[in-house]
Amino acid sequence: MSGSSEPGGFATRTGVREWPVAGRAMTGTWNRDSAGTFVEALFARHHGEIYAYLLRMIRDPELAADLAQDAFVKAYRAYDTLEKGENARAWLYQIAHRVALDHIRRRKIVRFLPFTGESAGSSPSAERLAMDVRLSGPLERAMARIPERQRGALLMAEVHDLTGLELAAALGISHVAARALLTRARESLRQALAAERTAEAAAEAEQDAAYAHRTEHGR
């Protein structure tokens, strides 16, 4: 990234971005120009995968965009805490992971009902539940069922291809602990997927039975 053409700003720079920090240690001092340049390059390189990661964690596109924005602002703010440029990707994932967990922690309990005028005691309709099932596959539903930290570890390792060391850095834990977490995550996913498939098979069997019943009575 070339330097800014105006003092104090990274808004007016021109030219093709390049990796601003790779191969050099950060100074530990926050500098507006450097932070701006750094985050812009970081954004250009990683915003797609960070958005994808957050979307897979949160399952809400608009919210994922908000959290991605939040993650890059935090990166801008904490630019001086990155010691080595080559660790920037894992460091950015760490920020995004924390942003996601923060959000999940805050929202996970309260379930405000949609204001449809339903009276007290009413529950979601069968059609609504069926729609929810159709909108997501077994893998997505199973991922939603496993603990958030395990979900994050699986996504980073398998979908976003972080190495073992990167995963540990992104999770903010030791390499051994990251491996253990990932192992638990695989087992959780296996069980959750098995449960999803069992439920799906039962639903299909029920549908078949209902169809057979209607056919029989229709004759």
Partner 1 sequence: MTLPFRRRHNDHETSHDRARALIATGYLQPNEPVDADWLEAHLAGCLECRNDHAAYGADRELLRALREQAPEPPRDLWARTAAAIELEAGRRTRNQRRGRPPRSWRIGHLPAGVASGLLVVLVVVGASLIPRGGVQLGPTAPAGSDVAVGTPRSEATPLAVLTERLAWIQVAEDGTFEFRQASVNEVCPDLQSRCAPLDSAMTTSLAITQAPQAVLLSPTGSEIVVVTSSGSAAGADIVVLPVPTVPPPPETAAPSASTDPSTTPSTTLPSAPPSAASTPGATPTEPPATLTPSGLPTQSPDPSASPDPSASPDPSAGYSIVTGVVVVGDAAYSPDGLWLAFSARSAFGVVGPDLYLWRVGDPLATAVTDDHRTFFSGWLGGQVLANRVETGVVSADPSATAAAPTPSPAPTLTPSADPNATPTTPPAVVEDHPVAFLLDPETLATTPVAGTDVWRPTVDPTGRSVVYWSGTLIPDGTGTGWSLGTGRLVIDGWLDGSAPPTDEPSAKPENSGRPTATPATTTTAQPVPTDASGNPVAPVIGPAGHPVTLVEGPSTGFNTWFDPSGTRLAIWVADPSDPAVGTLRLVVLDEETREIDPATDPLPGAAALHGVSINGGRLAWVTPPGQDGEGSHLQILAWSGREFGQIRSIQAQGLSVVR
Residues 174-203 that bind partner 1 (CB under 8 A): 179-180, 182-184, 186-191, 193-194
**CA neighbor of 57 nearest in space, from 182, 149, 157:** 149
Decide: 36 and 26 in contact? Cβ < 8 Å: no
* Binding of residue 215 to partner 1 (CB under 8 A): no
One of 84, 107, 128, 213 touching partner 1 (CB under 8 A)? 107
One of 20, 21, 72, 88 touching partner 1 (CB under 8 A)? 72
* Binding of residue 171 to partner 1 (CB under 8 A): no
Contact positions with partner 1 (CB under 8 A) in 128-147: 139
Q: Closest distance between partner 1 and the C-beta of residue 129, in Å?
A: 15
Decide: 93 and 166 in contact? Cβ < 8 Å: yes
The Cα 170–Cα 93 span in angstroms is 5
Residue type, 105: R
* Binding of residue 154 to partner 1 (CB under 8 A): yes
One of 38, 67, 76, 87 touching partner 1 (CB under 8 A)? 76
* Binding of residue 149 to partner 1 (CB under 8 A): no
3-class DSSP assignment, residue 9: coil
Compute the radius of gyration of the chain from its Cα atoms.
23
Using CA atoms of 63, 67, 73, 74 in order, give the dihedral in degrees to the nearest 10: 160
Structure tokens at 12: 């007016």
Q: Closest distance between partner 1 and the C-beta of residue 211, in Å?
A: 29
Q: Closest distance between partner 1 and the C-beta of residue 207, in Å?
A: 24
Decide: 140 and 59 in contact? Cβ < 8 Å: yes
The footprint of partner 1 on this chain (CB under 8 A) covers a number of residues equal to 86
Q: Output 123 or 215, the one with its CB closest to partner 1.
A: 123
